Amino acid sequence: MRQASVERKTKETSVAVTINLDGTGVYDVKTGIGFLDHMIEQLSRHSLIDITLRAKGDLHIDYHHTTEDTGIALGEAVSEALGERRGIRRYGAATIPFDETLTRVSLDASNRPCLVWRVEIPTEKLGEIDTELFKEWFQAFAQGAGITLHVENAYGRNSHHIVESCFKGLARSLRQAIEIDARQADVVPSTKGVLGGSL
């Protein structure tokens, strides 16, 4: 079982994450930010990664530090659970329709972090969270997980639909990329023999 636990503590936040990559999508998430909880729950449910996450942060200031640090910690847990990334399919992609919204997500679990974010969110807030923080979460997650991640909202009007389709797209593409390929279950999917570093 590919599992990991990560704790991240700073003067601004305290985050504890436990994951199981080979789970069934069971989640228990409490960040103090309702909408962020909902999005991480969507990530768990649609990736089939079991996620237990607790975060306490300086929410009296704003939601930036807690949002970013949950992304970092969750990403680091994914990277730790993947280990050498031996046997994984490596690539994943998903196109997610959500009512009037369509979002495309593609990723490479290459151990080379990169985010391309082509998402415009019409409103400044969803619940109490600033919508500009979702890019920060995806950036932090990509960095922590060591993935190249492209997120593109093709069209849409509803901010909730746009953001949720991004998380569901991440979930489905991540599910593909980290799946063990039975044809090369003990092989690192790279001609270099390792993932990460230079191209």
Backbone angles phi, psi at 162, to 5 degrees: -65, -50
Q: Residue 164 falls within a domain, yes or no?
A: yes
150 lies in which domain range?
A: 3-184
Q: How far does CA 133 lie from the centroid of its chain?
A: 14
Here the CATH number for the domain that contains residue 86 is: 3.30.230.40
In a domain, 194, yes or no: no
pLDDT tens sequence for the chain (199 residues)? 899 999 999 999 999 999 999 999 999 999 999 999 999 999 999 999 999 999 999 999 999 999 999 999 999 999 999 998 988 999 999 999 999 999 999 999 999 999 999 999 999 999 899 999 999 999 999 999 999 999 999 999 999 999 999 999 999 999 999 999 888 878 766 556 565 754 4
- Specify the pLDDT at position 199: 43
The pTM for the full model equals 0.93
C-beta atoms surrounding 114 within 10 Å: 15
Whether 189 maps to a domain, the answer reads no
Domain annotation covers residue 34: yes
**Number of folded domains in the chain?**
1
In a domain, 130, yes or no: yes
The answer to the question of residue 197 being in a domain is no
Inside any domain, residue 191: no
CA distance 164 to 167: 5
- In a domain, residue 192? The reply is no
Q: Where are the alpha helices (DSSP H) in the chain?
A: 34-47, 64-82, 133-145, 159-178
Q: What is the CA radius of gyration of the chain?
A: 16
